[in-house]
Structure 1
Amino acid sequence: MLEALLLSVIEKLEINHQRGMINEEVVIKDMKEILDIVKDKKLEEGRRLNFLVSDLVDVAGDALDLFKQRKIYFYYFESVLSWIGEIKQYLLKLGDDGAETETESNMRSSDNVDDKYVVGLDEDVEMLLRTRIIGREGYNSWTTLIKGMAGIGKTTLAREIYNHPTVIEHFERRAWVSNSTYFTMKELLIKLIQQVEDPQNLHTSSSLENMDNRSLRDMLSQHLQGTRYFIVLDDMPRQVHLKSFLEALSQESVNGSRLLFTSHMKHTNLTLEVEDVHEMKPLDSKESWQLFLKTINHGNKLTGEHKFPMYLEQRGKQMLTKCGGLPLGIKEVGKQLAEKKVSEGSEWEQLLESVDFTSTLKLLEPFYHKLDPELESCFLCMAFFKENATLRKEKLMQIWVAGGAGSQPDCRHSLDGLINESVISVKDKSTEYSLNPLLHMISIQKAEEKLGFEILRNNGNNRPFESPRHHRVIICSRDKFNYSTDHDKRLVSLFFHGGGYFDTSPSYWNSFKKLKILDLEDFGLKSLPESIGTLVKLIYLGLRNNYIKELPQSLGCLKKLEVLDIAQNFMVEVPDIIWELRSLRHLYISDLILI
């Protein structure tokens, strides 16, 4: 039955292609690949598979309509292709019986955390109600997107609005649908109909499942006709094609009806529909502490002498900086500490020292897996930078390019993508960014697995790796710098964090045969050795904000150097041989003296 339905859709697409209506063969190609998947896996006609095929038939029909309406072809064709691609990926992940695989069924949104204890959302709720949900009668935009990284509280904020007394009184009908791992438009339509239809005329799930998407949209539109409704679509998937859905509901928008989306990203096919985007911010230190105390004391029923002692407030706040104001992380840490207190009876000082973020990172890992593949390499390179660092746009781009993450246009696209997907946050200046400390931990984990990355500390407490390393961060204290150069011939990038006694022998630098990136920014460096000139593959040399008085003559040997950053070093003597560096594209200087 399903194979016959797919063959029928492909036949219609091919007929239109022969008539010259379709100048793109990608849709037909994807549809044939999907048919092969269904055949090869011999999938049974289960509920999930039927939903996916219903979506596929619906979006293919949209594709035919788009081909006939050239005016909107360019705007929506990409979203059609994306959604067909998503359906294909869903089918590949289904088990042979048409059910979700165990791995995928366990990968739920990490934003749906316990919202019993809420901190820092009062202003957001009041502002959204006043300016976007209720206070915008007659305004053209009837859709709002709450955007932010996983665990930041998007669902909690939406739930606070949805259950607000003013909303309950203002809207005649309300409905809430949360995304499942395998989102389908058919499932969305069925859930909405079941929430908004007249209780005296309820349809059974089986009767609704036998209907196609177009009929379901018509039914939903009829149920909502003439009413003022408020619908929340929580955790919307990456590329879901919403054009027909929005068109079916838009007629009621003039009477004050509203749609509220939550997502970690701005969806490509929503940019023309959603004008209002509310970007969620992390909790500040005060709000983080309030949430921590609520979670650890009240949420876990710790009373009397067992409550978290206030004399440890400073140490507790220091520990919470690792969460970067992320409610999911704060709640998970509070829950972990309370459970240890009850089970082990240890002193709070010992418990604070033993905080483990492993469980929090597991909750956030699905957020990493949702990244577009082309963004992954740049995200992994975020491991090179310091925790809580302010990241300059030009440095990010230059490190990514020099490290082989892509060309400059590719890396610029990746930067925009990471911002769009709420991985990187834009700071006060549009050219400065930050990365949440918990996401930084994930980037380190994944970079160790996939990039050959390691972190070394001069306390001698380092984990050995069996495979050669290609990227390294060295974290120094005030102790003497002393590291073996074993396997350094494979290193592509080397970053120094912290500060300390930096006194390597000239032969040390001779071991880095393939080094392309050397970053010593903010390290407290006073001089560079003459042997730095042996790094003939070097592309990026970062020496910003140090105490360097002069650069060695051997700098002229770095013929492939493209970026030299010696800004914020007071009165640096630079040999005029610098002008012979023909590959140099970016030079950052201040208080320069040519010699």
Structure 2
Amino acid sequence: MMMNSLVEQRSMAEALILSMMQKLERRQESSNCWITCMLLTCSPEYSVGERKLKAEKETEMINELRMIVDIMRDQKLGEGRRLNYLVCDVVEMVRVTLDTINKYFSEIHPALQWIREIKKSLLKLGMETDSGNVGEDEDEDEDVVGLVDAVEKLLRTRILHEETRRSTLLLKGMSGIGKTLLARQLYNHSDVVARFDRRVWLCVTDLTIKEILMKLIQQVVESEELERRDSLLEKMERADNRSLQQMLHRYLKGMRYLIVLDDMPKRMYLTSILEALPREGRESRLVITSHTTNINSIYPDEVYDMEFLDSNKSWQLFLQTINCGNELKNEYKFPKELEKKGKEMLTKYCCGLPLAIKEVGKQLAKKRCLGIEWEELFESFDLGSTLEKLDLFYHKLDEKVKPLFLQMAFYKENTTMRQEKLDQIWVAAGGSENFAKYHSKDLVDDSFIECKDKDTRYHMNAILHKLSIKKAEEEIGLEILRSNGNNRPYQSPRLHRVIICSRDKFNYSTDQDKHLVSLFFHGGGYFDTSPSYWKSFELLKILDWEDFGLKNLPESIGTLIKLRYLGLRNNHIQELPNLLGRLKELQVLDIAQNFMMEVPDIIWEMRSLRHLYLSHVICRKPLKIDALQNLETLTYISVDNWTYGLSGLKMLYQLRKLGIEEMNANTDASKLFASLARLRNLKNLILKGFRFRSMPCLDNLGILQKLQTLKLDGLLARLPNSFPSNLESLKLVNSCLEEDPMPLLEKLPKLKHLKLRNAYIGQEMVIVCGYIPSLELMCIEELWNLRNVRVENGLALSLKKLEIKNCPNLETLPESIRHVRGLKMVTTKIIATKIRRSGMSSNMRVVDINP
């Protein structure tokens, strides 16, 4: 379809939008009548909630469309190619949206996101001048340090492998980690050049859909058509997106093609592009590089997460950087005798990020040319330019997710952060209930944090941690104080403070700061405050001393009546002060891993408490846990204290996670399970044995039908004769079972995650995976005697990840392991060599350990 002028295209887009708005408004009137009718008749035939939610989304869509019409009518936009392209996107957006929302309710949300992105682009166009070089790819430094293995693996398993359909590979990682460079190595590999009829590379940053289609067509056309490029370009300028799709499809049909879309933005709506790419026939490949997995309509066959460089590869890249070009003469090259210190400094400051390593290398090379000795240069590592470049990475985050990223500045560098702690501190600071848990996944998807241990623990690279501190100081009033006096500047008013102590005594001032919301202590265990010091924090909601080495807790902490979160995990505190009972608004009390702490009978006074973490505490009287009607989490309580000290279990309406410790052979498990069955919302249960003694028989465990997550940590003579039928996650730790556990575990129909750590002492394990239809993740760890894993009936198609760690006698793997793409094995060098030579490692990542 051809358009004669931009005015005509604008008119058509506006008419389509107005028609769509009228249709949505008519549907809304009909929907409101329907909802009223259902409420009056109480008919269960349809979900009123779903219909209401759909109506709300449609209302948002109408409002966004009205704004787009107003923006297109704005004379400030003027004329220009970029406006032309955006208007074409508007036309296609209306067509696709009308089609999808008529059929699928689930498609309303991505369609709404697409509408908002187009609106942003139109608004941006009104503020900026038209650019003729939008999205052009920048020259890349051809440093391939650390990418050789990745190139070889991806060529073998994703690019050159035998698969007749078109497959998609997503290279994911933070800015500066080498996504584009890896894609270049794949794209320009000689075997790739020889294999594909057409290769297309396109950086899609800030491009509209129409621009992407046009640039793809320009690169795909035959060389003999070069003389017709001008007429082709004119034809494409006048075409709408649907015509361009058909044109691209026609050019690619019957060809084996490789297309790389570099630097894909978040939530870009790629349906139009995918529809234009033929899927049938020849082994074509689509490679996408992005910092995120959150791209609409993309379901990659594999997501390759870019990894940070280890110490040796970091050093190799550093040497390559400082020695490149002619700036350095031979006498300025790095001396071998300083290599150890250089590696330590590089690891400490650059943390394996190629961007940081190159920036630091270039800076030091220039300074060395000025005659400064290498020993002095070690003290002048400056990450300022790296953080400036990563500022753009930070701005890629959604505005609503940025506060979560800024919150990372509160925690220690290179620490592993618990999901539950992130959530609880967010809520304690005033955030909404489910926001952190929902959007922390966005930080993982967008490569700002790494996920550890099945979405329960996170880690942030130290460079990004420095960026979070920098932005938190600028945007939310973070102040960092150090005992060595090297303090960071702060904004006024100060809302958050991190105090970093050394082992030297640090005397804190009694500075009145009524605005402070959170206070975190890192480092040593020495501090000196007067009782009046704590009275100055009238609005303090969060106080965290985790891993501080604290020995005594001031009694005056009880004066912080606004406190919602108190973190005392992993210290040396001997006794909890009685005055803590005054903290009536406290929601989280974490006193776990303070060995043999004496806890007075004050917990019941904290009626707002929702999460209580204990372990190996001394209680002169049984804790009145049943008085805490808001309690959602309780870990860990002694089995004796639980079974015999609690009477009103039915009052624990909200308890969802429970950990019970010190179970032994004398524990009456039947009585325990009978009491647990009264907890109607209990979903997560952890049972721990007492030191190295055997746990009791757990045969009545199956009565806890609502359990979804279960961990058994302790010596078991045998497994229970039945498990809860709704169980989705199971961990067996230190069970040391003599019989193969798989015959029983295979009967759990909803099991998704299974972990066996030191759980079985036999030599052979038989997995009949056809009986575990829902299993997605399986981890076998520290099975010291295991020599053979036998798989019958093939692996279940649902299995996405298999990890085998520290099984030193397991030297072979079954043939069906090949079908599991997420296969990871941590073993010795000798066994790793045998596995590789057997040809079984095509999809396997092997990590070597010492025997």
TM, length-normalised to structure 1: 0.92
Bigger Cα displacement from structure 2, 470-479 vs 426-435 = 426-435
How much has 1:429 moved relative to structure 2? Answer: 5.6
AA partner of residue 220 (structure 1)? L
How much has 1:94 moved relative to structure 2? Answer: 2.2
Equivalent in 64, 73, 86 of residue 117 of structure 2: 86
Partner residue of 1:263?
290
Bigger Cα displacement from structure 2, 284-293 vs 477-486 = 477-486
2:93 is equivalent to residue 59 of structure 1? yes
Matches within 5 A, 1:62-461: 62-68=96-102, 70=103, 73-96=104-127, 98-99=129-130, 114-138=140-164, 142-180=167-205, 182-202=206-226, 203-204=229-230, 205-252=233-280, 254-271=281-298, 273-298=299-324, 301-320=327-346, 321-342=348-369, 344-404=370-430, 406-428=431-453, 430-461=455-486
AA partner of residue 173 (structure 1)? R
8 Å CA contact 1:146, 1:154 repeated in 2: yes
- SS of 2:408's equivalent in the other structure is helix
AA partner of residue 215 (structure 2)? K
Bigger Cα displacement from structure 2, 11-20 vs 112-121 = 11-20
Distance 1:173 1:30, change over 3 A: same
Deviations 1:139-198 (A, max 9, x none): 5x6111111111111111111111111111111110010023x22111111111111111
AA partner of residue 359 (structure 1)? S
Write the distance in 2 (CA, Å) between the matches of 1:300 and 1:19.
71
Calculate percent identity across the aligned residue pairs.
57
- SS of 2:434's equivalent in the other structure is helix
Distance 1:517 1:449, change over 3 A: same
Distance 1:467 1:424, change over 3 A: same
AA partner of residue 110 (structure 2)? S
How much has 1:231 moved relative to structure 2? Answer: 0.3
AA partner of residue 198 (structure 1)? E
How much has 1:440 moved relative to structure 2? Answer: 1.1
Write the distance in 1 (CA, Å) between the matches of 2:255 and 2:586.
66
Partner residue of 2:605?
580
How much has 1:3 moved relative to structure 2? Answer: 4.0
Matches within 5 A, 1:471-510: 471-510=496-535
Q: Which has the higher contact order (CA 8 A, sep 6+)?
A: 1
AA partner of residue 385 (structure 2)? S
AA partner of residue 221 (structure 2)? E
How much has 1:263 moved relative to structure 2? Answer: 0.8
How much has 1:410 moved relative to structure 2? Answer: 0.9
Deviations 1:65-96 (A, max 9, x none): 2244x1xx234332222122111111212255
RMSD of Structure 2 on Structure 1 (CA): 2.3
8 Å CA contact 1:545, 1:569 repeated in 2: yes
8 Å CA contact 2:10, 2:87 repeated in 1: no
How much has 1:322 moved relative to structure 2? Answer: 2.4
Distance 1:28 1:582, change over 3 A: closer
Write the distance in 2 (CA, Å) between the matches of 1:113 and 1:554.
64
AA partner of residue 516 (structure 1)? K
How much has 1:64 moved relative to structure 2? Answer: 2.2
Structure 2 stretches of 5 or more lacking a match? 1-6, 31-54, 621-851
AA partner of residue 93 (structure 2)? V
How much has 1:12 moved relative to structure 2? Answer: 3.1
TM, length-normalised to structure 2: 0.65
8 Å CA contact 1:76, 1:269 repeated in 2: no
How much has 1:394 moved relative to structure 2? Answer: 1.5
Structure 1 stretches of 5 or more lacking a match? none
- SS of 1:433's equivalent in the other structure is strand
Deviations 1:221-243 (A, max 9, x none): 11111110000001111222111
AA partner of residue 609 (structure 2)? L
8 Å CA contact 1:544, 1:566 repeated in 2: yes
8 Å CA contact 1:113, 1:151 repeated in 2: no
How much has 1:438 moved relative to structure 2? Answer: 1.6
Bigger Cα displacement from structure 2, 299-308 vs 158-167 = 299-308
Distance 1:540 1:20, change over 3 A: closer
How much has 1:546 moved relative to structure 2? Answer: 1.3
Distance 1:542 1:113, change over 3 A: farther
- SS of 1:60's equivalent in the other structure is helix
- Structure with higher helix content: 1
How much has 1:264 moved relative to structure 2? Answer: 0.8
Partner residue of 2:20?
13
- SS of 1:514's equivalent in the other structure is coil
Matches within 5 A, 1:37-52: 37-40=71-74, 42-52=76-86
How much has 1:301 moved relative to structure 2? Answer: 4.5
AA partner of residue 507 (structure 1)? S
Distance 1:258 1:338, change over 3 A: same
How much has 1:30 moved relative to structure 2? Answer: 2.1
AA partner of residue 186 (structure 1)? K
Write the distance in 2 (CA, Å) between the matches of 1:399 and 1:112.
41
- SS of 1:143's equivalent in the other structure is strand
Partner residue of 2:825?
none
8 Å CA contact 1:154, 1:280 repeated in 2: yes
8 Å CA contact 1:561, 1:581 repeated in 2: yes
Deviations 1:1-22 (A, max 9, x none): 1542332222332454467499
8 Å CA contact 2:479, 2:491 repeated in 1: no
8 Å CA contact 1:54, 1:212 repeated in 2: yes
8 Å CA contact 2:479, 2:498 repeated in 1: yes
Aligned length: 581
How much has 1:465 moved relative to structure 2? Answer: 3.6
Write the distance in 2 (CA, Å) between the matches of 1:586 and 1:335.
49
How much has 1:269 moved relative to structure 2? Answer: 1.8
- SS of 1:481's equivalent in the other structure is coil
Write the distance in 1 (CA, Å) between the matches of 2:189 and 2:260.
13
Bigger Cα displacement from structure 2, 566-575 vs 33-42 = 33-42
Deviations 1:298-324 (A, max 9, x none): 356524220122333233223323222
How much has 1:97 moved relative to structure 2? Answer: 6.4
Write the distance in 2 (CA, Å) between the matches of 1:284 and 1:57.
49
- SS of 1:497's equivalent in the other structure is strand
